[in-house]
Amino acid sequence: MKQYNAIFISDVHMGTKHAQVDKLLTFLKETECRHLYIVGDLIDGWELKRKWYWDDTHNLLVQKLLRKSRHHTNITYITGNHDEFVEQFIGQNFGGVKIMKKTMHTGVHGKRYLVMHGHQFDGLVHCGRLLERIGSAAYQYVLSANTLFNKLRRRFGFGYWSLARFVKMNTKRAVKFITDFEDGMVSMARAKKVDGIICGHIHMPEIRKIDNMDYLNCGDWVENCTALVEDLSGNMQLIDWHEMETETLAEKEAGQSVVKAA
């Protein structure tokens, strides 16, 4: 089991059929940490209002988080835009899980990071909820196409490939929005006089310097299946669960081939 000082996960979107809760459960079973931050949109209240979807893995994830809390993991739940209904409980503690709008994480080396979901800088929010929800619905259609496409890829022995990410990175308006978002987050961090910012929201995992400021985006557990981790030495890195799954499968197949040959 891998040990970390801190793990940051964002945008699980429980309550949607595209949430890859089973993969997140496996990741959490194979890792331990002192601090666990849920950086917004754990639950998708928008989709649950439209159509109820909640299977056993969702219950298992909630139980797993509470179990980790009981076993001395400090868990902080940051609210996002899809789970804004949780904001009524900000400042409260449920089963050892603290609920906040934003918080500060101090790393092993003493670096201070502002931790927040990031929807506060989404221009769509300020243009009205109807437009924002239309964008969310369109994203669900892209994810459905993405699921079908990757089933075909797996059938032919290929690894995971994100159609949604491809669309984002090859659409000028989307690229501009991502750039504006990152610049906005960095500006907020600079105003707070911290060393960096940790966020989610745009489903684009990233670690990089922007104007000498650390920008770290956790990604999501809908398409990318990534987590931001800080190891016990204070190093930050992104874990890509799709890659780890592919490597594990290849190792198992190699082991089976050795057994058959023997």
Task: Give the side-chain half-sphere CA count within 13 A for 7.
Answer: 24
* Tokens found for residue 70: 């009981």
Q: What is the pLDDT of residue 111?
A: 96
Q: What is the pLDDT of residue 147?
A: 64
- pLDDT (tens, 9 = 90+) of the chain, 262 residues, equals 899 999 999 999 999 988 999 999 999 999 999 999 999 999 999 889 888 999 999 999 999 999 999 999 999 999 999 999 999 999 999 989 999 999 999 999 999 999 999 998 765 444 444 435 435 555 665 665 666 656 666 676 666 666 566 666 656 566 677 888 899 999 999 999 999 999 999 999 999 999 999 999 999 999 899 999 999 999 999 999 988 776 654 455 555 554 455 5
Element (H, E) at 244: helix 241-261
Q: What is the pLDDT of residue 179?
A: 86
Sign of the dihedral defined by the CA atoms of residues 204, 205, 208, 211, in that order: positive
Q: How far apart are the first and last CA of the chain?
A: 30
| Alpha carbon separation from 21 to 25, 27, 69, 220 (Å, rounded) | 6, 10, 18, 11
Q: What is the pLDDT of residue 152?
A: 66
Q: What is the pLDDT of residue 75?
A: 98
Torsions phi, psi for 211 (to 5 deg):
50, 45
- Domains detected in the chain: 2-151+162-240 (3.60.21.10)
Q: Are strands 196-199 and 226-230 parallel, antiparallel or unpaired?
A: unpaired
| Alpha carbon separation from 70 to 3, 94, 166, 194 (Å, rounded) | 17, 11, 40, 30
* Residue pair 150/161 in contact by the 8 Å Cβ criterion: yes
| Alpha carbon separation from 93 to 86, 96, 97, 100 (Å, rounded) | 12, 6, 5, 10
Q: How many residues does the chain have?
A: 262
